Amino acid sequence: MIVFVGIMGMAILVAVYLSKTLYPRQDGNDQQITFLIFSVLTIMGVLGMVGWEKIKRFLERQDQSTRDERTLQSNSLYQTMVDNIDVPMHLMDCDFHICLMNKELEKWNQALGISGAVIGKHYLEAYPFLSAQTKTEYRMVFETGKAFLSKERVHVGKDTIYTQTKKIPVMQNSRVVGVITVI
């Protein structure tokens, strides 16, 4: 508290001095500029007393919460967009885990008897009936950054399913960070 009062006292003295010497007014009314300089100096003194590092950390926390909020909004927007595409699709990360899927793929999963959550699982854990060729195709997309179109015949239980699947790279900073699979 004593330090704060000292800072304010110094700020007042410096503000009066600066307003009289650097910014003198013809009418002698130096109160507005004195108050402005006093305010700036007081803020600078308080910032110095509190410490720039604490202020920086506070601003970083605010920044992080804003980023978290934007991420949640973006995820909701992505999910809404994906859910309105009427073909089955999912997004897979570079570790081959499913990050996002649309409602049409959920319907397929139910029809094929695939139950439980698929999001977060390795694609072979979620879909163990897929061939080794599928992994080769995904790796090729990650390595080349080029989309890959395949026609497949998959056996799920007693059913045989014929599909045409497009694996589309998701780029970030000239690097493939995921693959969108459209069936």
- Residue 16 reports pLDDT greater than 80: no
- The residue that leads in pLDDT, 155 or 66, is 155
Is CATH 3.40.50.300 the classification given to domain 86-182? Answer: no
Residue ranges of the domains in the chain? Answer: 2-50, 86-182
Q: How many CA atoms lie within 13 A of 34 on its CB side?
A: 13
Q: What is the mean pLDDT of residues 29-47?
A: 51
| Paired tokens of 177 | 């960070």
Confidence of residue 7 (pLDDT cuts 50, 70, 90): very low
Q: Among 22-31, 94-103, 144-153, name the one with the lowest average pLDDT.
A: 22-31
CA dist., res. 11 & res. 2, Å (int): 14
- Residue 99 reports pLDDT greater than 60: yes
Contacts of 107 (CB under 8 A, 6+ apart): 88
Percent of the chain with pLDDT over 70: 57
**Whole-number pLDDT of residue 67:** 65
Summarised one tens digit per residue, pLDDT across range 150-183 is 998 888 878 888 889 999 998 988 999 989 888 8
Q: How many CA atoms lie within 13 A of 69 on its CB side?
A: 6
- Residue 124 reports pLDDT greater than 50: yes
Q: Reduced to 3 states, what is the DSSP secondary structure of residue 164?
A: strand
- Residue 35 reports pLDDT greater than 60: no
**Runs of H (alpha helix) within the chain:** 2-21, 31-50, 52-83, 103-111, 123-126, 132-144
| Paired tokens of 164 | 């045409």
